[in-house]
Amino acid sequence: MRLLYFLLVFCLPLVAQIHPLDSLTTSEFWAVYETLQKSGQADADTVFSSVLLHPPSKQAILTNQPVPRQADVILRKGNKTIAATVNITTKTITSSQELKDAQAPFTGSELFSADGPIKKDPRVIEALKKRGLTDLRTVQCLALPVAYRSTPEQATQRIGFGSCSKTNGTLHTWGRSIEGLTIQMDMVTNKILKVIDTEVAPVPTADNNYEEIPEVPRPHTTPISTSQPMGPGYKIDKGEISWQNWQFRMRLDQRVGTVLNLVKVIDKGKPRSVMYEGHVSELFVPYMDPANGWNNRAFIDAGQFYATSPFIKPLKIGLDCPAHATYFDALFSTDSGSPKLHTNMACLFERSLDTPAWRHGEDGQIYGRPNRQLILRTAAVIGNYDYIMDWRFDPDGTIEVAVGATGVIETKATAQKLPPDHSHNATDTGQYVAEHTVGVNHDHYFSYRLDMDVDGASNSFMLHKMVPKRIENDPMRKSIWVTQPTMAATEKEAILDIDLAKPSMWMFMNPAVKGPLSYPTAYEIMPGATAKSLMSPDDPTQQIGSFSEHQFYVTPYNANERYASGVYVTSSPAKDGLTDWVKANRSIANTDIVGWYTLGFHHITRAEDWPVMPAMWHSFLIRPFHFFDKNPVLDLPKSLNTKP
């Protein structure tokens, strides 16, 4: 099924079959390239840091008006960063501007080309020799960008922060860091600006080889097989996916992965809008060690590294998704401006949950219906971490958004072999996971942008608070809780944190559309287990990832507000992002509004996370509230094997 989808979406010529919300095609990438070349904006030395679909006008999409196909392009010429918008339809440049206080994202060739210049620097050679490392073929160095601005040089130069690892004796360098040695490098001139050499620790030799671990069947392990002999229960028609009562469009984006559009529920044969657009907006991963080589490790993963390598990576059939799934390919830009095909970048499949959609026992009889789910899955791989990212659709109108974190934890080499007092207090910035190896504590924060359009674009945001009420003169009860609905009028009233002592439900509602019981139709954002940042607001690291301060925000719709830490996050002054936008305290009542959910977790490492971490899942729900007139899954088939 993957080949068919590729032909429908990517290989057709630029004719009416291309939907305005579809990913860029091969011919469109080349049209962008040729337009910029002919105009003189690009030449042989120009780096195409980013080529993304320019989001079409929402109003035009909702009113079925013609929309030109456009691309947003970030070019780099030496230290210069140029932002351009290209009209693909007319092959003209709509806008072009050299940015004075912003930098293009780092490309893969930049990161890995740093190895040679770093290892030629005499200061680095001497530092490695001091550590007993003289065969430089077994040393690998690279230079990473820093999202926040921590040195004066970052304001005018393209600075990479380098580090090195030992490579021999292993298939990869995770867990083989060369501690106490960091390098600052001008990435344009390849000049080493500064070498910082502090503490010396032996490079760990603990087993980090998970690739060649032999399979050992667990006792009584027998095969589990899932198949759909009659084919899938969903349909894909020119980029639109239909399943049971759901209908939506999907495209794959180089920066943020899966982008959902025009998400609707079919209710009594009528399509009803739920969400215009949904996607992850940004990731923030700060590490909690102030030592040299670690104090700069705070990553804005999507915005920093999507030009290095696409945010999402290929899926493995039978591991990430079942063999019967539909797999999707994607076209993304290279740093030369040409398109590159990436296979198996997303998958779509149904699964039986082996749980009832509903049930009840009465008079010795069991009544109910079995449940199933539609999963749209991608996997983001950013350096050491892998994130399995799901959009899960339920027949009852609920969407579950889930992230499974796995991969390899970042570790720090230590002179101490094991914790000296055999307690959890041996180090306050991490935990030993192997000899001479400490897994450094860190956080993960995902900002999800949810452009909710419940029964239309004009929505309001309601806090359904639960407050205690004292009961007087009743011997049976002394207290209950009651609901207290409150409408948020402005952005600051919708900056929310989970407080178990002051619970509330967070709802997008349409005040103009009433259900059969006269309630306004609504969808609730139901938080799951999450976290908020514990870092100080004046920390430059926290400032670039400041969306992590709260669990939820609501803003009025603005087509230019898509990324929670801003568009340009390399050496950023942190003046453009979600927490900057909400300072305007704009009205969010009965208008087109967008929700921003922070899915977060603190990670204190453990031995069980090494050498590769078991997947750990976190999620939240988007679920109907007075949207339907009754339970929408009452009439599900009594058997999952029922023929259509």
Nearest to 5 by CA among 232, 229, 240: 240
- State residue 276 phi and psi, 5-degree precision: -75, -40
Span 537-554, mean pLDDT? 96
Alpha helices in 171-211 (DSSP H): none
The Cα 465–Cα 493 span in angstroms is: 13
Burial state string for 257-267 with b = 16 or more CB within 10 A and e = fewer than 16: bbbbbbbbbeb
CA–chain centroid gap for 200, Å, is: 36
List strand residue ranges (DSSP E) for 190-313, in order: 191-197, 234-237, 240-243, 246-253, 257-267, 270-286, 298-300, 312-313
Residue 14 has pLDDT above 70, yes or no: no
Q: State the sign of the Cα–Cα–Cα–Cα dihedral 563, 568, 571, 577.
A: negative
Count CB-CB contacts under 10 A for residue 78.
Answer: 11
Count CB-CB contacts under 10 A for residue 463.
Answer: 16
Residue 308 has pLDDT above 90, yes or no: no
Nearest to 309 by CA among 405, 383, 409: 383
Token pair for 524 = 């609730």
CA end-to-end distance (rounded Å), the chain = 20
Least confident range of 190-204, 423-437, 542-556: 423-437
Largest CA distance in the chain: 85
**Tens of pLDDT, residues 38-57:** 999 999 999 999 999 999 99
Please report which confidence band the pLDDT of residue 639 belongs to, taking 50, 70 and 90 as the band edges.
Answer: confident
**DSSP one-letter code for 108:** H
Please report which confidence band the pLDDT of residue 8 belongs to, taking 50, 70 and 90 as the band edges.
Answer: very low
Least confident range of 70-79, 292-301, 567-576, 633-642: 633-642
The Cα 280–Cα 288 span in angstroms is: 24
Span 151-168, mean pLDDT? 93
Count CB-CB contacts under 10 A for residue 572.
Answer: 27
Span 88-104, mean pLDDT? 96
- Say if residues 283 and 442 touch (Cβ distance below 8 Å): no
Q: Of 385, 445, 448, 563, which residue is the catalytic one?
A: 385
Residue 125: strand, helix, or coil: helix
Residue 155: strand, helix, or coil: helix
What local confidence, expressed as pLDDT, does residue 424 receive?
A: 67
Residue 343 has pLDDT above 80, yes or no: yes
Q: Of 301, 335, 386, 390, which residue is the catalytic one?
A: 301
What local confidence, expressed as pLDDT, does residue 642 receive?
A: 53
Q: Which H or E run includes 358? A: strand 339-362
Whole-angstrom Cα Rg for the chain: 26
Alpha helices in 433-583 (DSSP H): 540-544, 578-581
Q: What is the mean pLDDT of the chain?
A: 94
Distances, alpha carbon 221 to alpha carbons 70, 250, 442, 486, 592, in Å: 53, 37, 36, 53, 52
Clarify whether 385 is annotated catalytic: yes
What local confidence, expressed as pLDDT, does residue 122 receive?
A: 98
The Cα 441–Cα 433 span in angstroms is: 12
What local confidence, expressed as pLDDT, does residue 17 receive?
A: 76
Nearest to 379 by CA among 509, 248, 268, 280: 280
* Amino acid at site 463: L
Which domains, from first to last, does the chain contain?
2-98 (3.10.450.40), 108-197 (3.10.450.40), 244-408+442-603+612-625 (2.70.98.20)
Structure pTM?
Answer: 0.95
**Tens of pLDDT, residues 309-325:** 999 999 999 999 999 99
What local confidence, expressed as pLDDT, does residue 222 receive?
A: 87
What local confidence, expressed as pLDDT, does residue 217 receive?
A: 81
* Amino acid at site 577: G
Please report which confidence band the pLDDT of residue 426 belongs to, taking 50, 70 and 90 as the band edges.
Answer: low
Burial state string for 388-405 with b = 16 or more CB within 10 A and e = fewer than 16: bbbbbbbbbbbbbbbbbb
Least confident range of 11-15, 50-54, 274-278, 371-375: 11-15
Least confident range of 27-41, 58-72, 138-152, 383-397: 138-152
Residue 140 has pLDDT above 50, yes or no: yes
Residue 10 has pLDDT above 50, yes or no: no
What local confidence, expressed as pLDDT, does residue 211 receive?
A: 86
**Tens of pLDDT, residues 568-603:** 999 999 889 999 999 999 999 999 999 999 999 999
- Say if residues 71 and 372 touch (Cβ distance below 8 Å): no
Percent of the chain whose pLDDT exceeds 90 = 87
**Tens of pLDDT, residues 165-201:** 999 999 999 999 999 999 999 999 999 999 999 989 9
**DSSP one-letter code for 94:** E
Residue 27: strand, helix, or coil: helix
Span 205-229, mean pLDDT? 86
The Cα 406–Cα 269 span in angstroms is: 41
CA–chain centroid gap for 643, Å, is: 37
Residues in the chain: 644
- Say if residues 349 and 373 touch (Cβ distance below 8 Å): no
Nearest to 143 by CA among 164, 122, 170, 166: 164
Residue 434 has pLDDT above 70, yes or no: yes
Residue 20 has pLDDT above 90, yes or no: yes
